[in-house]
A and B are shown apart, each in its own frame.
Chain A
Amino acid sequence: QKEVEQNSGPLSVPEGAIASLNCTYSDRGSQSFFWYRQYSGKSPELIMSIYSNGDKEDGRFTAQLNKASQYVSLLIRDSQPSDSATYLCAVNRPSNTGKLIFGQGTTLQVKP
């Protein structure tokens, strides 16, 4: 089992719809969770971080965390073609180093 799992996609949604991206992780001790957006040929950009159960909203983005189910998700409301990118989920490894473990990423396509 991979430490951080994401569906590779592509996930295709029409413009204006809600895009839902999901991520599961294996280590129950993980405390920090992050979502990165990566455009083709560019480096990953941190867009959301979440540390406690529940929802965290930032503009059109909402991160959701459920530690009991070991599940973190990212919702993008009113999706725009400019949201088309690969979204990487990252989870800290609960060790003295606290390194982030990255999922393989989900490719999102928002169609006009």
Chain B
Amino acid sequence: DVKVTQSSRYLVKRTGEKVFLECVQDMDHENMFWYRQDPGLGLRLIYFSYDVKMKEKGDIPEGYSVSREKKERFSLILESASTNQTSMYLCASRKDRGYGYTFGSGTRLTVV
């Protein structure tokens, strides 16, 4: 089975801190995605990547950046954390177009 591993299950950070969320997949998947999920708002795409060193903005990229230096790792960066970035962050990967996503277990981030 494909495994998508997110480095932290729970994280508490202070306003203004730079936050790194790490995601690693072990099945040589081409595509990787970062979502946030909030009650009543569903899953919202932040950034995605179709190849190493490639990134594209999703629907809500403001306040975030990403890095994909290696195929298996896709990092989400909150440049200056704010309280409205308190959320569940979900990383996902898939083999290619036409396949479903496999999600990581999620990181619940609280910004205080």
Contacts and interface: CB of A to CB of B under 8 A. Distances in A.
A55 B102 CA distance: 23
B97 interface: yes
A90 B94 CA distance: 14
B100 A88 contact: no
Given A92-B98, A97-B56, A44 B103 contact: yes
Contacts, number: 45
A43 B100 contact: no
A43 B101 contact: no
Interface stretch (B14-22, B42-50, B77-85): B42-50
Chain B, interface residues (CB within 8 Å), range: 10 to 19
Contact of B90 (A43, A51, A98): A43
B104 A49 contact: no
A31 B102 contact: no
B97 A98 contact: yes
B104 A34 contact: no
A102 interface: yes
Contacts of A97: 48, 50, 56, 97
Interface of B: 33, 42-43, 45, 48, 50, 56, 90, 97-106
Interface of A: 31-32, 34, 36, 42-46, 49, 51, 88, 90, 92, 97-100, 102-105
7 contacts: A32-B99, A32-B100, A43-B90, A44-B43, A99-B45, A99-B48, A100-B100
